[in-house]
Structure 1
Amino acid sequence: MKLRRARSLLSRLVAGDGLRWAVRKAYGVFRREGLAGLKRRIAWLRAGAPGTVAPQLYAEWLRRYDHIDDATRVAIRARIAGFENPPRISVVMPVYNPDPKWLAEAIESVRGQLYPYWELCIADDVSTNPEIRPLLERYAHTDERIKVAFREKNGHISAASNTALELVTGAWVALFDHDDILPEHALYCVADAIERNPSIRMIYSDEDKIDEAGKRREPYFKCDWNPDLFLSQNMFSHLGVFQTTLLDEVGGFREGYEGSQDYDLALRCVERAGVGAIHHIPRVLYHWRVHAQSTAAGADAKPYAVVAGERALNDHFGRVGVRGAVEFAVNGYRARYALPAPAPLVSLVIPIRNELELLKQCLASIIEKTTYGNFEILIVDAGSDEPATLDYLAALERGGRARVLRDDRPCNFSAWCNSAVDAANGEIVGLIDSGIEVLSPDWLSEMVSIALQPGVGTVGAKLLYPDGTVQHAGMTLGLHGVAGSVHQRIPRSSFGYFGRASLIRTVSAVTAACMIVRKSVYREVAGFDEQAAVMAFSDVDFCIRMQEAGYRNVWTPYAELFHHESSIRHCGSDSARQAHFDGEIQYMQRRWGSLLRNDPSYSPNLTLDEDSFALASPPRVNALV
């Protein structure tokens, strides 16, 4: 009966012969994992694949939530009329041999803006297509807000962009490519953000792609400013907007970084402005044209851009004094941070209660595989009563392989961790579940090197189920009510939602199944809460308090471990556990309610009901006016 129901549901969800493979794969998931696994697969099918959105679903979402009607236009114009000091926005567009049709569409999209206080500053970099110059001259004569400079020598995109910047008279500069499109409310949203937030100096928005037929797809719903993700990908573009004085302060575009000139510019501007001056608009305000020569089609379209981005990031490390290096890693960039010499002592804290075979596997993998040499193992025995386990712990202590703390307090994971941290000798503390099994030998080196960076609180790892699918790739606040792991059950090799399962990034929380943190920072935030969040959400509460104290939590995909899951956090009777769990949910929602609805590392346009990055319906964004 269940199988027939699954087939019926999948048949309605999947359209076209090209996705029949997904149906067959989903049947396999059903047989192996039951309805729960099937629901996950259905969520992926609805999204097109892990990390993407099916075009038909996105089209329907746009119709419902991204449609500008006449009443909205009237309201927007009324809002603009009420601006005290409407800023002039200079749209800067370097031009070199675009398709004339797309160039005209790009220009018309600026002319069609609801916000009237703009200028379009165009620099033609000696286009060889004879249609381009007359087209630009015609627009310049038609609309006085359009300014065009014709360069005498081809200088590539950085030089052309700087020529366009010389035409700028506005207080703000928006970067725009010669074949892309701005929706009619784009500049209004930018001006509205400036009006409401006079201290900001940099603005970025969400984006999507538009194909050669004009169909929109692949929306990238971004998070708020994410320093670690920004070092992994240029999340600032598109739409990227800068205060003009900021561009003057950093000297505009640098030649020699063509292809990633906007990345290099944003890096230098962030250094100058500070992260507090960066504002994210959670709306799609830029349609990026996809064609064979555009970087929207993938890194292979412009390999020189990848090399330029790598150079820009390493220059950034040099300027800000970070010891390390950045390299391209297939789906983005990887920052490698240098460890100090000597490397600090790490205290690996492992709470246990019986489950001897799990513990043996955990310790063997840590001792035999870990390349980081300076660590101690501190086992918290939270009430083991099996003779074999007790004998094994005693043998560990006699052999000097680990220290064992006996802590018989009932069902208080937070208290167990806090007491162990107090007894730890290391400058760095690692909270480790006894079900962890090391996969990547340099896992600890990777996590410690990040934990030692200024401003970092906790560091989390990429945890895999025994079948190799992803269990933990960072946690999202508000998911399923309080918090949950995103990208659950996607393949280990999957990039995830716009690289989120394969790139280092800031997250709001990581699991204590494998968490690295400086001991001084742990103590600064008073450790885990032993009163209210003692079991189920102790790590989430801890990470939120890290954020509250000004630290950021970082997840890295380059520390991979299996997680077989112990039962250490599942003590007591079923009814007692459920009562405790319900109490912690109430506590978390009472204390962190607003943040649980607005995770800065997640998008309000994405759902909190599933862990598949599906579209939110409706999105949790403020009205346009």
Structure 2
Amino acid sequence: MFRKAGWRGIQWELGRRVTGFNDYARWVREHDTLTPAARTRLAERVASLPERPLISVLMPSYNPNPAWLREAIESVREQIYPNWELCIADDASPSQEVRAILKSYADSDPRIKVAFRPKNGHISAASNSALELVTGSWIALMDHDDLLPADALFWVADCIASHPDVRLIYSDEDKIDEALIRSGPYFKCDWNPDLFRSQNMFSHLGVLSTDLVRAVGGFRLGLEGSQDWDLVIRCMERIEPGQVRHIPRVLYHWRVHAESTAKSMDAKPYAVVAGERALNEHFERTQTRASAEHIGFGYRVRYALPDTPPLVSLVIPTRNAAASLRRCVESIIAKTTYPHYEIIVVDNASDDSASQVCLESVAKMRNVQVMRHTQKLGTAELRNEAVSAAAGEVIALVDDSIEVISPEWLSEMVSLALQPGVGAVGARLMDRRRILTHAGIILGLGVDGVAGRSHRGMPAGREGYGGRAALIQSLSAVASECLVVRKDRYLEVGGFDGNHLKEAFADVDFCLRLGEAGLRTLWTPYAELLDHKPAARERKGGEPASSPYMEDVAYMKRRWGSLLQNDPAYSPNLMLAREDFSYAWPPRVPPA
């Protein structure tokens, strides 16, 4: 931790822990322990399901710890939902004890089927052998030493009943050690294909339509270590995003031991190579000009720019900020490697002499033009007017407090903005101490319940919760301090709303309207910039807020309603009162 983020990283982590909000053992006791009464209620709900599909738990096995194997099998047998089968393929385990355990279970329970492979073929081959045993309409993937909580398959069946068009289902997960102590929960967001291409957020618990698995040819040999991810990638290519569903409950306990990837990908380096291959072959099949490489805690995807990159218009509003404006423009010109851009400085009636001198100076710089206003306007109006006049096919909104530090920032953001279905793209912003000021916007955070900033205050050297501060992903909104969007999409949704939003949340509203139009908002950590703007002091509960600000809050709640409390890029198991992804007390998930 110290090597990556220094003392500030340690302080950040201590801050998350000393509050008590991230005491997972207590969270489990209070919010994720299945009581006898809850078991009874779920058993009664099973009877009311409109249909009870057979769920086939698919388990490849090779020489597991015998005690852990028994625990894994017993966790399936203890399921509240009764309509399951367990399909195990043993990959020629040398342990006679393992073989005896499997034979004993198969002989004593007709729901358990076991295939003994004559020779070892590794996990993909073993998984395909288990697939041959499957007779259910759904397949749940499970390792031979992991555990399912007793309600896991019930919630899967409930999801299937609630969403008849679903084809892929995944849940939250945690880790469990040899003493059965749970830790490290991953409370996931809803389906996020961009994050999925950065990490395997699907496993575990992953459940797939059997027809779909067979249609794509099952598990591929040569992808061992990432065979499940590769399978889901190929399935994803054949369905719509709305056919993937997330169950925000911990339905899988991933065993932590020395040879498990639950502890570290270093335990299985071949899995890293397989993951890169799975992604890069996905891009080839979908004719996407992109490449992926492993970066230690996930994968970086680089999207190629067109052979002739489009003109980008950088729109920089400013008022009486000579030093900031000069630093911003000079850093763009000196460091930006993107080959084709113009800079439009929009002066909002600056009236100090330093600004006048600065504006005259920057107007003489390469690719810079200055639009002057003699009367002060709102920022939204300034931006909208400049965008309409811009010659670029792509717009980059940039505040005058921004300083470029990564030369490829604009290339990165434009390459994402040009992808199909993408609206806005946001950047990773830091202050001069390299403390994050923006890693995307999460709806519902903060005292007013509208929106807050993901991982604000975290040292830049850390990956954040589940890698969420260091991987490309879809978010509901990103900040306008540095935002890239195609001009036609900006105009299609009407630009920024300066009529209803005078002080705050115009960028959030803009991104949400892009979402209404069917476009994704992306955030990338690979466009890093400094933001020299002083940190805005957050309003605390009980403090008065300015009247215009409270009008903005009221408008956002009227316009966007319950979405503000149910951000699909966040989790109901995470807290709305903090920006550090602390656990929710209680979670916003109905109890069992």
TM over 0.5: yes
Letter paired with 2:486? R
CA shift in 2, pair 1:349/1:622, >3 Å: same
Q: Is the 8 A contact 1:355 1:566 kept in 2?
A: no
Q: How does 1:370-449 map to 2 (within 5 A)?
A: 370-399=336-365, 401-408=367-374, 410=376, 412-449=378-415
Shift of 1:354: 1.0
Q: Which residue of 1 aligns with 2:519?
A: 551
**Partner of residue 361 from structure 1, selected from 324, 327, 345:** 327
The answer to whether 1:486 aligns with 2:449 is no
Q: Is the 8 A contact 1:433 1:566 kept in 2?
A: no
Shift of 1:593: 2.2
Shift of 1:47: 7.0
Q: Which residue of 1 aligns with 2:150?
A: 184
CA shift in 2, pair 1:112/1:569, >3 Å: closer
The answer to whether 1:541 aligns with 2:539 is no
SS at match of 2:139: strand
**Partner of residue 226 from structure 1, selected from 173, 192, 198:** 192
CA distance in 2, matches of 1:346, 1:206: 40
The answer to whether 1:498 aligns with 2:498 is no
CA distance in 2, matches of 1:487, 1:222: 15
**Partner of residue 102 from structure 2, selected from 136, 143, 153:** 136
The answer to whether 1:323 aligns with 2:289 is yes
Q: Which residue of 1 aligns with 2:28?
A: 62
Q: Which residue of 2 aligns with 1:463?
A: 429
Shift of 1:215: 0.4
Deviation string, structure 1 residues 328-361 (Cα, Å, up to 9, x no partner): 1121101101111211100000000011001111
Q: Is the 8 A contact 2:396 2:484 kept in 1?
A: yes
Shift of 1:406: 2.0
CA distance in 2, matches of 1:215, 1:544: 41
Q: Which residue of 1 aligns with 2:497?
A: 529
CA shift in 2, pair 1:568/1:235, >3 Å: closer
CA distance in 2, matches of 1:437, 1:549: 32
Letter paired with 1:620? R
Q: How does 1:24-173 map to 2 (within 5 A)?
A: 43-46=15-18, 54=22, 57-173=23-139
Q: Is the 8 A contact 1:140 1:148 kept in 2?
A: yes
Shift of 1:72: 1.2
**Partner of residue 610 from structure 1, selected from 570, 575, 578:** 578
CA distance in 2, matches of 1:331, 1:495: 8
CA shift in 2, pair 1:576/1:112, >3 Å: closer
Shift of 1:403: 1.2
Shift of 1:319: 0.8
Deviation string, structure 1 residues 440-472 (Cα, Å, up to 9, x no partner): 111000100010000111111110011111111
CA distance in 2, matches of 1:116, 1:576: 55
Shift of 1:84: 2.3
Shift of 1:577: 8.4
Letter paired with 2:371? L
SS at match of 2:238: helix
SS at match of 1:209: strand
CA distance in 1, matches of 2:537, 2:98: 67
Q: Which residue of 2 aligns with 1:34?
A: none
Q: How does 1:269-348 map to 2 (within 5 A)?
A: 269-348=235-314
Letter paired with 1:385? D
Deviation string, structure 1 residues 272-291 (Cα, Å, up to 9, x no partner): 12211100000000000000
CA shift in 2, pair 1:399/1:464, >3 Å: closer
CA distance in 1, matches of 2:557, 2:378: 20
Deviation string, structure 1 residues 238-276 (Cα, Å, up to 9, x no partner): 000001111111111110000000010000001112211
CA distance in 1, matches of 2:18, 2:160: 37
CA distance in 2, matches of 1:405, 1:391: 15
CA shift in 2, pair 1:327/1:131, >3 Å: same
SS at match of 2:207: strand
SS at match of 2:420: coil
SS at match of 1:297: coil
Q: Is the 8 A contact 2:435 2:460 kept in 1?
A: yes
CA distance in 1, matches of 2:454, 2:590: 24
Shift of 1:530: 2.0
Q: Is the 8 A contact 2:87 2:114 kept in 1?
A: yes
Letter paired with 2:350? S
Deviation string, structure 1 residues 56-88 (Cα, Å, up to 9, x no partner): x11111111112112111111111111222111
The answer to whether 1:509 aligns with 2:493 is no
Q: Which residue of 2 aligns with 1:10?
A: none
Q: Which residue of 2 aligns with 1:623?
A: 591
Deviation string, structure 1 residues 375-411 (Cα, Å, up to 9, x no partner): 1000111110012211221233345542111235545
Shift of 1:583: 0.9
SS at match of 1:218: strand
Unmatched tracts of structure 1, length 5 or more: 1-17, 30-39
CA distance in 2, matches of 1:242, 1:235: 14
SS at match of 1:184: coil
CA distance in 2, matches of 1:472, 1:356: 24
CA distance in 2, matches of 1:399, 1:255: 57
Shift of 1:45: 2.7
**Partner of residue 268 from structure 1, selected from 216, 231, 234:** 234
The answer to whether 1:562 aligns with 2:534 is no
CA shift in 2, pair 1:577/1:438, >3 Å: farther
Q: Is the 8 A contact 2:424 2:522 kept in 1?
A: yes
Q: Is the 8 A contact 1:462 1:470 kept in 2?
A: yes
CA distance in 2, matches of 1:138, 1:120: 14
SS at match of 1:479: coil
Letter paired with 1:597? Q
**Partner of residue 141 from structure 2, selected from 171, 175, 190:** 175
- Which contiguous aligned blocks of 4+ residues in structure 1 show a shift greater than 3 angstroms? 24-29, 40-43, 398-401, 407-411, 566-570
Q: Which residue of 1 aligns with 2:569?
A: 601
Q: Is the 8 A contact 1:344 1:427 kept in 2?
A: yes
CA distance in 2, matches of 1:314, 1:401: 37
Deviation string, structure 1 residues 465-524 (Cα, Å, up to 9, x no partner): 111111111110000111111111211110110111111111111100000000011111
Letter paired with 1:623? P
SS at match of 1:63: helix
Shift of 1:592: 1.2
SS at match of 1:561: strand
CA shift in 2, pair 1:28/1:560, >3 Å: closer
CA RMSD of aligned residues (A): 2.3
CA shift in 2, pair 1:466/1:152, >3 Å: same
Q: Which residue of 2 aligns with 1:8?
A: none
Q: Is the 8 A contact 2:9 2:461 kept in 1?
A: no
Letter paired with 1:44? R
Letter paired with 1:606? L
CA distance in 2, matches of 1:478, 1:265: 34
CA distance in 2, matches of 1:568, 1:76: 47
Shift of 1:41: 6.8
Q: Is the 8 A contact 2:430 2:531 kept in 1?
A: yes
Shift of 1:621: 1.1
Deviation string, structure 1 residues 144-177 (Cα, Å, up to 9, x no partner): 1000000011110001000001001111000000
CA distance in 1, matches of 2:458, 2:108: 53
Richer in helix (by share): 1
Q: Which residue of 2 aligns with 1:590?
A: 558
Shift of 1:546: 1.0
Letter paired with 1:94? P
CA distance in 2, matches of 1:343, 1:451: 12
CA distance in 2, matches of 1:104, 1:202: 28
CA distance in 2, matches of 1:363, 1:568: 23
Q: Is the 8 A contact 1:463 1:563 kept in 2?
A: yes
Shift of 1:544: 0.8
